[in-house]
């Protein structure tokens, strides 16, 4: 019961701005085309807006004077009892009337849930300069990523700070370079400005290779997550772009494929992965030339395929507790413009071939941080860690972490009761040297120091699908 009350309080904070929701407008399709050899286009107010001044206001300042948008599933959410709240510039479901947030969390871990993530912005970069351009603003190695494989990355400032985290997918075929990536809704304005400015600099520096940048604001994005996800997707009898039958068992974590689903008039890009730590899929749904709501069509087909005993709708509340158990960062909280990948425990996103060559935004700072001072580098003074709070009171964002002498050594960035573990968990930044798993610290909650233990993440083991032989 204490866990339910604590999550309910968190849910209340999530919707704190809903009383001042401005006029709602529907999502429209916008495409921006920029090449390295063409004059820079004028910024369109619908696409490139004023930069947000404070990264900490981007994700959980749910109402905005700029207006709130709807995804393709808004009316559907309302009809299904969705409790709608402003989030990242969109009205999104916090939860649904049939399940509490805790019950929805458990349902996802045990069965399957459908999340509407259409508020996130989908991008595409094409042209002979696409890979080199991406390599200049991220620590990834786009050219060495296998076709139809994806990986976590980060858009980086020249300082090494994280503009946003993103998943980059190589969709190149033969000689044609093509990359698909998804960015956070709360960072939309600054991401668009950052990419636009980066392309402009790329051109001014005389870099070779034409670039075409496209954003798909009318595409849907649906996440099917949980151990029954594959079974449910198989029920739709997916076929390839060539209309050949395809088993999703062939699709491993981090891989993707264009598949025809639910009689949608165009193939969907189906990627195996997600933001919960469970097996699952993220499905990019193209808009229909006939005006049909393809995202709604797919969502209804998935619900019908699984039935109420296997699959339910889930909202932001469950998504947040699931991702925290999985040890995944939430931008604007666990990472921001001031955080480098090394500090954030994301050194693994820096491709091996980039660790020597560098050449990406912030590489001098970041590569120096990879080495300790005794090895000729700078190291880091803080590190992101997981924490188990050994107390009934959950630690929330902003809570102070102290050592045994009561000295401040860090700050909590995310925290909640873990429905799976029945414990209070958190992540935050802590002074280097105190970051090793098992280190005993305290977290100040309600003016009282509560015992806590530094923990490895994820808190709950990941269950990504890596093939039938992966566990043998």
Q: Which residues contact 1 (CB under 8 A, 6 or more apart)?
A: none
Instruction: Determine the average pLDDT of the residues in 417-438.
Output: 98
pTM of the model: 0.88
**167-171, 190-194, 338-342, 463-467: which range is least confident on average?**
463-467
192-206 mean pLDDT: 94
pLDDT tens digits, 256-267: 999 999 999 999
Q: Kindly report the average pLDDT of the chain as a whole number.
A: 88
Mean local confidence (pLDDT), 238-259: 97
Neighbours of 293 (CB within 10 A): 17
343 is in an annotated binding site: no
**pLDDT at res. 57:** 30
Check: CB of residue 99 under 8 Å from CB of residue 82: no
Residue 280: helix, strand or coil by DSSP? strand
Share of the chain above pLDDT 70, in %: 85
Summarised one tens digit per residue, pLDDT across range 76-113 is 999 999 999 999 999 999 999 999 999 999 999 999 99
Cα distance between residue 86 and residue 225, in whole Å: 23
CA atoms within 13 Å, Cβ hemisphere of 175:
1
Give residue 76's pLDDT. 99
Residue recorded with tokens 């296998």: 146
**pLDDT exceeds cutoff 80 at 127:** yes
Residue 120 backbone class (left: φ over 0; alpha: ψ -120 to 50; beta: rest): beta
Please give, one letter per residue, the 3-state secondary structure of 68-79. EEECCCHHHHHH
- pLDDT tens per residue, range 8-52: 444 444 443 333 333 333 334 444 545 544 433 332 222 222 222
Strand partners, 414: 427
- Sign of the Cα pseudo-torsion (137, 142, 144, 150, in order): positive
Residue 458, preceding peptide bond in cis (omega within 30° of 0): yes
Lowest average pLDDT, out of 45-49, 202-206, 417-421, goes to 45-49
Domains and CATH numbers, the chain: 2-30+62-118+219-314 (3.30.1360.120)
Question: What's the pLDDT band for 442 if we cut at 50, 70, 90?
Answer: very high
At residue 470, the pLDDT reads: 52
- Greater model confidence, 2 or 172: 172
3-state DSSP call for residue 377?
coil
Question: Mutual orientation of helices 101-110 and 316-325 as an angle, nearest 10°?
Answer: 60
Give the residue from 455, 444, 355, 342 showing the smallest Cα distance to 401.
444
pLDDT in tens, 304-356: 999 999 999 999 999 999 999 999 999 999 999 999 999 999 999 999 999 99
Given a contact cutoff of 8 angstroms between Cβ atoms, the answer to whether 170 and 125 are in contact is: no
Give the residues across from 182 on adjacent strands: 122, 167
């Amino acid at each position: 019961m204490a866990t339910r009350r604590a999550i309910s309080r968190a849910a209340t904070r999530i919707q704190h701005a809903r009383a001042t929701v401005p006029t709602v407008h529907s999502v429209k399709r916008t495409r921006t085309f920029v090449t390295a050899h063409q004059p820079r286009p004028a910024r369109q107010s619908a696409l490139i807006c004023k930069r947000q001044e404070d990264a900490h206001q981007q994700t959980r300042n749910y109402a905005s004077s700029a207006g709130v948008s709807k995804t393709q599933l808004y009316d559907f959410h309302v009809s299904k009892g969705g409790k709608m709240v402003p989030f990242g510039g969109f009205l999104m479901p916090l939860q649904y009337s049939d399940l509490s947030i805790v019950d929805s969390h458990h349902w996802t871990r045990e069965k399957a849930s459908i999340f509407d993530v259409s508020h996130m912005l989908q991008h595409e970069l094409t042209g002979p300069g696409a890979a080199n351009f991406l390599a200049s603003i991220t620590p990834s190695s786009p050219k060495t990523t296998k076709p139809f494989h994806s990986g976590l990355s980060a858009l980086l400032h020249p300082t090494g700070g994280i503009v946003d985290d993103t998943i980059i997918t190589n969709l190149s075929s033969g000689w044609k370079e093509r990359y698909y990536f998804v960015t956070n809704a709360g960072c939309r304005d600054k991401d668009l400005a950052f990419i636009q400015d980066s392309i402009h600099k790329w051109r001014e520096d005389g870099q070779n290779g034409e670039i075409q940048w496209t954003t798909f604001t009318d595409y849907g994005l649906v996440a099917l997550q949980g151990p029954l996800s594959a079974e449910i997707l198989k029920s739709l009898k997916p076929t390839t772009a060539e209309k050949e039958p395809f088993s999703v068992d062939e699709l491993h974590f981090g891989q993707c494929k264009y598949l025809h689903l639910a009689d949608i008039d165009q193939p969907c890009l189906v990627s195996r992965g997600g933001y919960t730590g469970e097996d699952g899929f993220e499905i990019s749904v193209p808009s229909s030339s006939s005006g049909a709501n393809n995202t709604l069509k797919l969502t209804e087909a998935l619900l019908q395929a699984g039935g109420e005993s296997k699959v339910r709708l889930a909202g932001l509340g469950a998504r947040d507790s699931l991702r925290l158990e999985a040890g995944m960062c939430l931008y604007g909280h666990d990472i921001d413009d001031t955080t480098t990948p090394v500090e954030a425990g994301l050194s693994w996103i820096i491709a091996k071939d980039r660790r020597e060559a560098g050449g990406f935004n912030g590489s001098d700072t970041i590569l120096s941080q990879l080495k300790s001072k005794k090895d000729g580098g700078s190291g880091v003074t803080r590190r992101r860690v997981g924490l188990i709070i050994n107390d009934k009171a959950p630690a929330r964002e902003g809570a102070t972490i102290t050592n045994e002498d009561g000295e401040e050594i860090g700050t909590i960035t995310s925290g909640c009761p873990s429905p799976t573990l029945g414990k209070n968990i958190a992540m935050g930044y802590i002074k280097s040297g105190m970051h090793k798993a098992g280190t005993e610290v305290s977290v100040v909650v309600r003016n009282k120091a509560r015992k806590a233990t530094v923990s490895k993440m994820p808190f709950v083991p990941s269950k990504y699908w890596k093939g039938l032989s992966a566990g043998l």
